[in-house]
A and B are shown apart, each in its own frame.
Chain A
Amino acid sequence: MKKKKVELLAPAGSLEKLKWAIDYGADAVYLGGENYSLRANAQNFTLNEIKQGVKYAHSKNAKVYVTVNIIFHNEDVLGLEKYLKELDKINVDAVIFSDPVVLDIAVKNKLNFDLHLSTQSSVLNKDAVKYYVNKGVSRVVLARECSKKTIKSIINETNAEIECFIHGAMCTNFSGRCVLSNYFTNRDANRGGCAQVCRFNFNLYDNDENKISSDDNFTIAPKDLSLVDYVKDMIQMGVSSFKLEGRMRSVYYVATIVSVYRKIIDMYYNNSYDEKYLTKAKKILYRCANREVAPQFFNKIPGEKQQYYSSRKEDSNQDFLGIVLDYDEEKKEAIIEQRNFFKPNDKITIFGPKTNDYSFVVKTLKDEEGKQLDAARHPKEIIRINCPIKVNKNDLLRVCF
């Protein structure tokens, strides 16, 4: 039997980001509603926005998965059944959950959406997969602690639909099995209030409270995950879905990582897998996040180099230069909404869903009225730049590197 093409699953932190993710090549997006989602303090979707998102996604043959992934307390369950029925009515394609109360209600009410078990459940073995599949789960998102060997064995021995994270931030601890946030800040980690204590700095002491660290340079913060080098392996292993982390990230981040992984996946299926592109892809991916990356548990238990210490780097970068609003074919100029500083003689790259990476030197830079500018300085300012090729609305500009 021919295996289905691997799905590229992207985060959608807002309706706007949902559209960007799908336009840039995501096969499916995941998002959180106003309740029951582990990003309780994010800009989450209203039911109406979910409806609009589903309509948009389905019109582009993409799917929408809704996270209902908190760990429920008694009081949280009130309203859950109604909410799940609403999601069903809206035709969401799947619900991502970790607490089986969601599974129970969905199965009892014969709701139509698929049920995806979240990585919050920390599934690490085939028998745990079988347990949940027997109860009605259609897909399991494996724990990020799974190695290549484990993922492969689970797929071979269960034939279940398996989703794996391939890029983005990750927890230091087993997901769901960490309540540091509750104790440090009173914010409930498993109900969406996680304060990310694993990014805090600490002093380290011995058991008698003699200080060991010279400064507060003890952290438990991991570097981000990137399995860009293993896309081919994971497709061959039979992973069903590649998940990108980042519901809180920017449009630029989402569009960039989606477009890069889209290209790599397509190259594999088109038999045009290109190691040279991989080198370039890594450069693009690593620059658009603010942390370093590592394959984490894929090949071995992460060691010294896969976490941060005092010298941890969380650089913000100014690579994202603007969004293409339109193209003036007569003047051969791109009309841009600016995001970060650039000036004439800078080399920039434009990329988009239908625009292959195109790099060129900025020669002219004008404001909306055509007045020459010495630099693009003001975020959201509308400017015109020379652009030899036709580019499209919603293509993005970044620094050329």
Chain B
Amino acid sequence: MAKKILKVNDDIELTYKVDGYILGVLGYASVFNKTYSLKEIKKINDNKKNKKVFACLNRLIFNDELDKYKKTLLKLDQMGLDGIIIGDVSALNYDLKTDLILDQMHLNNCYQTINFYVNNGVKGVLLTNDITKDEIDEIRKNTNAILFKQVFGYPHLSTSKRRLVSNYFKHFNLVKANGNSYKIKEANENNYYKIIEDDFGTFILEDNALNLLGVNLNVDYEIIDSYMIKDVKEVVLAFMKNDLNKKNIIDKKYNANDGFINKKTIYKVKKDEKKES
């Protein structure tokens, strides 16, 4: 049975009964409402009791950030964490003894790739949201990697270094609203998407949450992500109890769906569309 871990976006979530936490590291974590200093992470980890604690540095690292980044990783390595989630492979050069979990957003889709990284410094990977349950089952059969998979929250679709929203406001002499979160929608379409700008750049997320409650995933850790969600407590409870009665309620509340877990993407458009018709 997969452990349920919470990507922490608010201090109060540290009181929720889950199997563990993912803590965004200040300065190096993207798509978190709340990030933590090393001191805070140490304190949380020291008091974790039976919970798993993972520190997360999930963004790409620019060359001039490397020295500080490495120092941060070395300090985290001394804390006895259950794992460090990294988004940049540079971390694989630093002989860290803590388990390293690779989160490259959409780049870990097959077991051969995962096994390459396992043979070259990684202990686990965060699977992309763009693969099916069957694909995950096949990955599980063919790798010893520790597998993580988001099961609830708004899927993160893209990262840009550009300030796309600020540029727009500047161009049209508009005054930015409070906060850094907006939505976009095509003129004749119904679906909104979240667009969020922070110090690192601009991120686009689904506006409909992913909800895989009740889907039996063959992974080690299922991640509940509360980013942009006011209070995720009822979701956490439903997942911890595997309370399928709550599935529809959660779906309705967060306009949720099951993403690509039962739906393959296409790429050779003509060929694949023919197959589908």
Contact surface of A with B, Cβ cutoff 8 Å? 40-41, 70-77, 98-101, 103-104, 121-122, 124-128, 130-132, 135, 143, 145-146, 149-150, 153-154, 172-174, 176-180, 182-183, 186-193, 200-207, 209, 212-213, 216-218, 220, 222, 297, 301-304, 306-307, 309
Contacts and interface: CB of A to CB of B under 8 A. Distances in A.
A77 B265 contact: no
Given A124-B61, A127-B90, A187-B269, A177 B113 contact: no
B161 A209 contact: no
Given A127-B90, A216-B187, A150 B62 contact: yes
B155 A177 contact: no
B243 interface: no
A51 to B, nearest CB: 23
A199 B8 CA distance: 34
A356 B33 CA distance: 59
Nearest to A70: B267
A303 B163 contact: yes
B192 A183 contact: no
Contacts of A205: 182-185, 192
Contacts of A304: 167, 170-171
A45 to B, nearest CB: 15
Given A73-B131, A104-B112, A177-B105, A207 B164 contact: no
B88 interface: yes
A212 B174 contact: yes
30 contacts: A74-B109, A74-B135, A98-B107, A100-B113, A101-B116, A124-B60, A124-B61, A124-B62, A125-B65, A126-B63, A126-B66, A145-B62, A145-B161, A149-B64, A150-B63, A179-B129, A180-B157, A182-B130, A186-B265, A187-B267, A203-B184, A204-B182, A206-B182, A207-B177, A209-B192, A218-B184, A301-B162, A303-B163, A303-B170, A309-B172
A72 B131 CA distance: 11
B181 A76 contact: no
B206 A183 contact: yes
A74 B195 CA distance: 31
A122 B90 contact: no
A193 B268 contact: yes
Given A40-B268, A187-B266, A303-B163, A176 B106 contact: yes
A124 B63 contact: yes
B62 A77 contact: no
A74 B116 contact: no
Contacts of B32: none
What are the 6 tightest A-B residue pairs by CB atom distance, in nearest-first order?
A193-B267, A127-B90, A188-B265, A178-B158, A191-B267, A202-B184
Interface in B25-53: none
Say what secondary structure dominates the interface of chain B.
mixed
A172 B161 CA distance: 8
Nearest to B204: A180
A52 to B, nearest CB: 23
A207 B182 contact: yes
B187 A192 contact: no
A302 B162 CA distance: 6
Chain B's interface size range is: 35 or more
Interface in B72-121: 88-94, 104-107, 109-113, 115-117, 120
A302 B163 CA distance: 8
Contacts of A189: 106
B135 A73 contact: yes
A186 B90 contact: no
B181 to A, nearest CB: 5
Given A128-B89, A153-B63, A207-B183, A179 B158 contact: yes
A100 B193 CA distance: 31
B209 interface: no
B164 to A, nearest CB: 5
Centre residue among B70, B170, B172 by max chain A CB count within 10 A: B172
A110 B171 CA distance: 53
B110 A173 contact: no
B253 interface: no
B150 interface: no
B160 interface: yes
Contact of A182 (B112, B117, B120, B260): B260
B168 A309 contact: yes
Contacts of B266: 186-188, 193
Of listed A103, A200, A206, residue having the most chain B CB within 10 A: A206
A201 B130 contact: no
Given A71-B107, A177-B107, 4 more contacts: A187-B269, A202-B185, A204-B183, A306-B162
Contacts of A103: 116
A304 B192 CA distance: 24
A301 B200 CA distance: 11
A143 B159 CA distance: 13
A187 B164 CA distance: 24
A71 to B, nearest CB: 6
A83 B202 CA distance: 38
Given A191-B265, A201-B187, A128 B192 contact: no
Contacts of B267: 40, 70, 187-188, 191-193
B186 interface: yes
B57 to A, nearest CB: 13
B62 A190 contact: no
A72 B113 contact: yes
A104 B116 contact: yes
B234 interface: no
B63 A41 contact: no
Contact of B163 (A100, A125, A186, A301): A301
B139 interface: yes
